[in-house]
Amino acid sequence: YPACRVELTLGDETIDLASGGMDVAIRVGWLADSSLQARRIGTFRQFMVCGADFAGRFTAGEPQELARLPFVANLALREPLLWQFSRGEAEHEAVRMQATIAIDATPAVLAAVRAGAGLSVLPDFLVRDELAAGRLVQILPEWRLPSGGIYTVYPAARFRPPKVTRFVEMLVAAEQKTGPAGEGRGG
């Protein structure tokens, strides 16, 4: 589509689409109630991770033991310090972490964790290569954190330009090709 032009704005803050100027936004996480229209195009998992060097300095067998460790809080999240862990159907634990560092941009949280600043929770799509390369280590892999959604979000309108519809179709196709070991995780 050589005639199509895209302006990409990146950030962890939520942009007000109702004010105009944008045709579509991609939101990752959990949507708040709004007058916007949304379509889920994929999902992601969250992992508690730390740098490989940091991982060798402590042991933890249960989620509650993590609360005593240095934690890098992601201020882009609604609840950056409270984490719900589950193992199987019956075991659930809520852990309130104590932030030693608080950062408002997810890529910067990743950089701090990679540098050894402590633990943090990050999405699979951001840490997949880091885990595979051994730069990061997943903590308590037998425990799961809540999964989230990847959404396209549009201003409320009866008519959606064909360029937006086609762009979203391309995103859906790309998302379905990604995932662990090349398996689609989209939905």
Task: List all residues 6 or more positions away from 179 whose beta carbon is below 8 Å from its beta carbon.
Answer: 185, 186
pLDDT, position 185:
41
pLDDT, position 5:
79
Residues above pLDDT 70, as percent of the chain: 91
pLDDT category at 176 given cuts 50, 70, 90 is: confident
pLDDT, position 186:
41
pLDDT category at 24 given cuts 50, 70, 90 is: confident
For the chain, list the domains and their CATH numbers.
1-44+148-174+182-187 (3.40.190.10), 46-138 (3.40.190.290)
User: What pTM was computed for the model?
Assistant: 0.81
Residue 3: exposure state from Cβ atoms within 10 A (0-12, 13-18, ≥19): exposed
* Alpha-carbon span 122 to 4, nearest angstrom: 33
Please give the angle made by the CA atoms of 184, 186 and 187, to the nearest 5 degrees.
Answer: 130
